Structure 1
Amino acid sequence: MAVEIRPLTDVDVEPVVALWEETGLTRPWNDPREDIRRARAVWPELLLVATDQDALVGTVMAGYDGHRGWLYYLATSPERRGEGVGRRLVEEAESRLLALGCPKVMLMVRAGNDAVLEFYDGIDYTRESTLLTGKRLIPDG
């Protein structure tokens, strides 16, 4: 596989947003470009893209708050699924988090997304019984 994993650059932003839209990761209340801008302002080396020559084939956004790491926006081009791109992106994000001293990584999966839960089951993630609550501080859009 000729896939390279590297931090996102300016030229990647629009293809990344298009991939997130294609794979159903965006929501009207979250501006994906703002999510990218905010993530790059804090941990630019944790917003990763997978490319095959000039084609974007996957993404993952990681974060670390000093207590635990988080994964967001894991996406693989539909035509490249099953090739290990998602697994490699997660492994690279985990490696970068570990290098920062991160002891644990978490992620959120929308209810009913069984295929994604099965993917994470297959790479040794454990389903937690914790419920999440949230509050928007800055409205997007």
Structure 2
Amino acid sequence: MAPGRIRDGVGLTNALAAGAPAAPAGDADGPLVGPLRVGGVDFREVADDDVEQVVALWDACGLVRPWNDALRDVADARSNPTSTVLVAHGGGAEDADPGSAVGPGAVVATVLAGFDGHRGWIYYLAVTPALQGTGLGRDAVVAAEAWLATQGVRKVRLMVRSTNTQVLGFYERLGYTDAECTVLGRDLP
């Protein structure tokens, strides 16, 4: 592993080979993954009871934009067999910062992962503000990479808004580099 890198695809592949649970194939009636233990934290697919907390966490982390319906993004990811929203829950008082709203069972981290048939993508990586800097964001990336690996993904990409420069170092430490491309978009009616 290169200096400064945490766990990347190679480390992830080794972790899966060493016994980290791989996602079962799943079907329309059951979850595709769960739970996936990363860094002492269980990540599992979002449940109905988690959705409001997930969107609230995305909002608290500045990820929600007026032109994107975050509830619809969750619903779309859940209804597509090539995408998922993974969540981690607070385990108890040891996870909570005194005076914070983090408590047992609260959603403390999320990541949306999807496979477009060519590349895997990571979106909506969020960690509750009271727990940022604890390694939980790294664990969420590793969980997303693990889920994507079970889908046959060999390349993972993510987009960072040009205004969100403070996270670039975080992703660089995880082995992500500038892909030297410009992402263009268009909304369909």
Q: TM-score, normalised by structure 2?
A: 0.69
User: What is the match of residue 64 of structure 2?
Assistant: 26
Where do residues 10-21 of structure 1 align in structure 2 (5 Å cutoff)?
Answer: 10-21=48-59
Residue identity matched to 1:41: S
1:87 and 1:123 in contact (8 A); partners too: yes
Tell me the number of residue pairs that the alignment of Structure 1 and Structure 2 aligns. Answer: 138
Structure 2 stretches lacking a partner, 5+ long: 1-38, 92-104
Q: Which has the larger radius of gyration?
A: 2
**143, 147, 151: which one pairs with 1:92?**
143
> What root-mean-square deviation, in Å, do the aligned CA atoms of Structure 1 and Structure 2 show?
1.5
* Aligned residue runs from structure 1 range 1-141, under 5 A: 3-43=41-81, 46-53=84-91, 54-138=105-189
Q: Return the alpha-carbon distance in structure 1 between the equivalents of residues 179 and 40 of structure 2.
A: 35
Corresponding position of 2:21: none
* Distance in structure 1 (CA, Å) of the matches to 2:118 and 2:82: 19
CA distance in 1, matches of 2:45, 2:128: 17
Q: Is the contact between residue 5 and residue 48 of structure 1 (CA under 8 Å) also seen in structure 2?
A: yes
Quote the Cα distance in structure 1 between the aligned partners of 2:106 and 2:83.
20
In structure 2, the CA distance between the partners of 1:22 and 1:69, relative to structure 1 (3 Å rule), is same
Contact kept in structure 2, 1:2 and 1:52, CA below 8 Å = no
Distance 2:134 2:83 in 1: 24
The code of the aligned residue for 1:129 comes to E
Measured after TM superposition, the shift of residue 66 of structure 1 is 1.2
Q: Spell out structure 1 runs of 4+ moving beyond 4 A.
A: none
Separation of aligned partners in 2, 1:91 and 1:77: 17
Change (3 A) 1:7 1:44: farther
8 Å Cα contact 2:77-2:83 kept in structure 1? no
8 Å CA contact retained: 1:23, 1:77 = yes
Q: Percent identity?
A: 47
* Structure number having the greater strand percentage: 1
Structure 1 distance, partners of 2:41, 2:82, is: 20
Q: 1:45 to 1:113 in 2, by over 3 A?
A: closer
1:71 is paired with a residue whose SS is: strand
